[in-house]
Amino acid sequence: MEKKVIMAIGGHIGDAELTCGGVLASMALQGHKIITVALTGGERGNPPHMTVAEYREQKVKEAEEFAKLLNGEAIVLKYADGELPDNEEVRFELCDIIRKYKPNVLLTHWKNSIHKDHMLTHKIVKDAQFYAGLPGIERELPAHYAAGPYYAENWEDATDFTPYAYVKVTEEGYELWKKAIKLHWFTVNSTSFSYMDYYSHLMIVRGHLARTKYAEAFAVDEESKKVIWNGF
């Protein structure tokens, strides 16, 4: 079996781990390489007993520990939660990461969200994917094309989100994800949203629709909604 590199890109630490973590864990157990990228730390959801700076430091460690359980790697960019810039610097920074790790596929946010960082991450990923795959854009590393992006299902990104691809989460992957995601403080301690309940049950619901036990759903761009057959 060909070993693949899967890159999941979130606006904050914890976004990718929650929304497509079951697939990431399942693929990790199959020997594929998992890379998570957070464009910001997500540190401004800090608990009362921690400063923003302290929580950012903790969240970086949480991202690294999650990735370690999946035998993967976590990358966190320098940008502050809520202040992700809409500029070429961050796009080329992500372009260079894509060229370095050579992912087969990109996973990220849907285009609509109640959070500005999520919507901007969607745009940044699409542009970085384009830049990374274009040989005419000369950077330190050669061009690399990554498929996708596929857009993970996020309660904050629900407007007009329509599942298109249902990806099976294995039972072992589901259990590994439950163990790993609890390393993120907010997923078990948040008083504003029941993250563990929502995402664990969502995997069950999507699994039923996909005629399997667990699954995660992804949207795609309209231009990607085509199936090419040679016949029936």
Tens of pLDDT, residues 94-108: 999 999 999 999 999
Domain CATH number, residue 68: 3.40.50.10320
Residue 72 covered by a domain: yes
Peptide bond into 85 cis (omega under 30): no
Q: What is the pLDDT, as a whole number, of residue 156? A: 96
Share of the chain above pLDDT 70, in %: 100
Question: What is the arrangement of strands in the sheet containing 147-152, beginning at the earlier edge strand?
Answer: 73-79, 33-40, 5-12, 105-108, 147-152, 215-219, 165-168
Confidence of residue 152 (pLDDT cuts 50, 70, 90): very high
Model confidence at 112: pLDDT above 90: yes
Domain assignment of residue 230, yes or no: no
SS3 115: coil
pLDDT at 122 over 80: yes
Average pLDDT over residues 148-159: 97
Q: How many domains does the chain have?
A: 1
On whether residue 102 sits in a domain, the answer given is yes
What is the distance between the alpha carbons of residues 17 and 143, in angstroms, rounded to a whole number? Answer: 27
* pLDDT range class, residue 226, cuts 50, 70, 90: confident
